[in-house]
Structures are given as structure tokens and as C-alpha cells.
Structure 1
């Protein structure tokens, strides 16, 4: 047991020193992978942390245990002819970057792996390439195993620019034709919202207790563009009745002056049920709709991210009431210093 501990400690020190010394990004990653192994992380976790396949993680660890740092050294090209022609390489790049696997014949697969890529090459080019060789080819073609991100495809840039111009005009009417500008939105906060990175003891992971429940809270809120004040309500559902009552609550909070609420095109915001009320209160209340697929223009969207990262992520709540308490405590706290909310959420428009 003592020898094992000594070996692990020696390996950790050796790998840390190698990481400090190397200027090669790929070698740094290899050292980092093996270091995490000796720090106690499982291969599956290491693969996710480093953006690699689990097969590669196991390979690096095995090479190090057999031959030490030399086992991790990158082999120099042998000068052997490339297995794929330049035309085939370009086609491969195009397929990986423009199609998901199910779109090119691999049913029920949405994500490219080296195994699937090898199969695609064999089916289309009749060339067999082993896993390790394909990894080398993909790196050479400037492809990497990365985490994707979401993007809205249908946003109309022209409509967005029109909205920005209209909003600039609206701001000029503050303290004149308009007294208050509010940004409104809904959000769902779950009791198991998300795991995000946090500082903790090096080589260890924070353990978060769970309760096996999937409850959540639906929020409706407003952000005052000029004062930074935030108001949120919790509800069991979103519908036109809830939204109508929320509008009435907004008017009660701002009993004087003209209010313009900036909001998205959710169905409940256009519901027939609210139209008579809007007509009746047209001198006091106006809805200004955002262009479709433009959440980045709704300033209160930033509030939800702020809320989740501050008091919801990395926490599993025991009950819905605990979620509600955490949310309202956050709102009360930021409302004590509304200038910070203005600086964080409102200065970009």
C-alpha cells in the first residue's frame, strides 16, 4: 500500500512538472489526463472534463504506466502515405461539420464519435482506418472533440435592428410621453437546476446531496430599465389568466404615468383574454414586442442566468418552498443595491 501511495505521489509531481515545462498544447492535455487519473478521477469523468473519448483517456494512462513520460510523447510522422486523398478529407470535414450522423445513414445517432467516423469512411470510401489513426487524421484536419452550444437559427437581423432603433426612440420619451420602461419574461426554475463549476479542494469534487424529486417554480418577472428594481411572482402555470392578473399587479405597483412593457411573442402575451384590458388601459399601459427569436434583446433574460448561477445551480432543494425562499431572498438582496442591477443588466441597451 505504501509503495502504491509513493508511486502515485511521484507520478503526480512528475506530471505537474511536465505540464509547467511543456509549451505543446496537445502534450499538456495528455499530462493533464493522466494527472487526473492519479488524483482519483474515473476515466469517464476525465473524458468529460478534457473533451476526449474514454478510449483515449485509457490509452494515455496505460502508456504512461508502461513507459512513463516517454510513453505519452507524440510519435513523429512516419512519412507513410495518407490514407485519404485531399478530396476525401475535404468531404469528411464537410460531412462532420454540416450533418449529424443520422442524416447520413446512422439512425438514432446525433453525435459524431471516432467509431462512427471510421464506419462512415469505410462505407463511403471503402477504406478501413483504425481508431488511433483516425484520431490523428481528425486532429490534423483541425477537428476536435468539443462541447457544442445552442444558437437560434431564425433570428431576423433586420427586425432586430429596427427594434433597437425603436427602443432608442422610446428611451428619449422617458420623463415625457413615457414614465416607465419594464422588461418582462417568464422562467422555469427547477429544484435540480444545473451543475456548474465552482472552487473546491484541488483533486476533489464537491458532493451535492439529492432528493430524487423534480419539482420546480414558474416565475413571471419585470425589470425596471431606469431604476433597476426587480419584481417576481411564482406561479404553478403560465396562461392568459395569470398574465392578465400580473399586468394588473404591475399597474398597482406603478399607479401613475405611462408604462411600456418590453416582452417576447409568447402566445399568452397575445391572448384574446387580455385585449379588452389593454384597450381599457391604453393610456397607461403599452406592450412593445421583441422581434422573434431575440432573447438577447430582453434584458430580464440576464436576470434568470444571474439568479441560477448565484443561488440555484449546484444545489438540490428539499422542497418547492425552499426554491421559492431562495429565489425571493435573491430578489430582495439585489433590490437593496439596484445600481448593481443596472450596471449588470441595463447598460447594454
Structure 2
């Protein structure tokens, strides 16, 4: 039969515990003080556990800590910092390899994953890390999963910049009889979508693609009036000039 626990009265009086309970702001400490108050009042650990909706083991642990250490025993124990598995130099190496494709590290994979990092660390550092640790490393090195953006090899950055400036000036200078529509095309293709990959926070990954091709596709022409919210669209088999002109006639 278990021994019934009692309060070690040398640490503080009932009135002192009650006053501390009344003024305490921390909910955990307040509950532990209430545990000692109930014990002062003659309640058993089982009775206190029912009153406070805590396990009997938790209540008995609180009582034992108070009886041994006093009020200091009611505070949360400080845990020593966890030892890092990888050194700062090793983390720097990992940071560098994550910036590149796994192919550059001799691995036949497109994108980094937690499982792949676990295997890489084992092969290169002869250290075993868990999958959770791998994801913690991603977070510690400021990586997040971001979907890659495609960028054509033929893009002209100067032309793009000039277009944006011209569009901005047009919007500012238009009169009340002018309607500006934002138009774009969406291509639904048999080419797989780019998946999210681990990359530095704030860095947009790029997947370079070749123009043209023989993939099956459907083209959706669409335009919206930003002032009214009106939307028009047309689905075509090709994104050529004839279908674009047809869409303009349909929309206007």
C-alpha cells in the first residue's frame, strides 16, 4: 500500500502558500501551489488529482518536489541545452550543398528531401540523424519549401522592364473613357507541374524550360477589368494569333 503523502511544513505556512497562490500569475505555478494547499487541508493525492484534473503521478511528483526543495521545487526545471549533432562547420557545408541540386552532390535526385539529407549526412559525416533533425536543420538554416518558377531561356529582361514602365504610365494617364483590361493565357499541359523544393526563405527557385515542344495542351484566354471585376475567358486548342484575335472579338 502506498504511503499517504503529507506536507513538509518547514518550507512555508498554509497562509504563506495561500497568499502566493492568490498573487501568482503563472498558471502552472498557481496549480502547483493549489496542490500544496489541498495537501495542507488533509486531502490525499488521489482526491487532489480529481479536483485539479491531473494524474495522480503528476500530483505526487509536485508534492515530492515541494517537500524536498520547497517553493523552488514548484518551478519548472531548467533543461540543459541539447547537444547539436552537427558542428558549425558541418552545418556550413550542408548549407552550401542545399543551395544546389542533389545532382551536384553525386545523388540521382531532383530535389532535396528530409530523407535524402539524412542519407547524405550519414554518407559524408558518418553521423546518424533522425528525419525530425533533418527538418530542424532545414529550419535552422532558414530554408522553406517553395514551388519553383519557370523562366524561359529567351526572356529579355530589358524588354520586360520597359513594358512594365509603359503599362504604369498608361494607367496613370488614361482618361475616363478608356478601359484597361488585364489579359493573360493559362496553358494546361501534359508536362508535370513543378514541385515545391527546399530553398532559402525569400528565394524563388527557377526551373529553366525550352520553348515550343510537342506536349498536349489547352489554352485558356482570359481578361478582367480591375475596376469592375468583370471576367471573360475562352478555351482554345492553341495559343496562336488567330485564337487570340478571336478572343479579343469575343471579349469586346
| TM band (smaller chain) | 0.3 to 0.5
Give the number of the structure whose alpha-carbon radius of gyration is greater. 2
| Greater relative contact order structure (CA < 8 Å, 6+ sep) | 1
> Quick check: which one's helix share is greater?
1
Return the TM-score normalized by structure 2: 0.43
- Structure whose residues are more often strand by fraction: 2
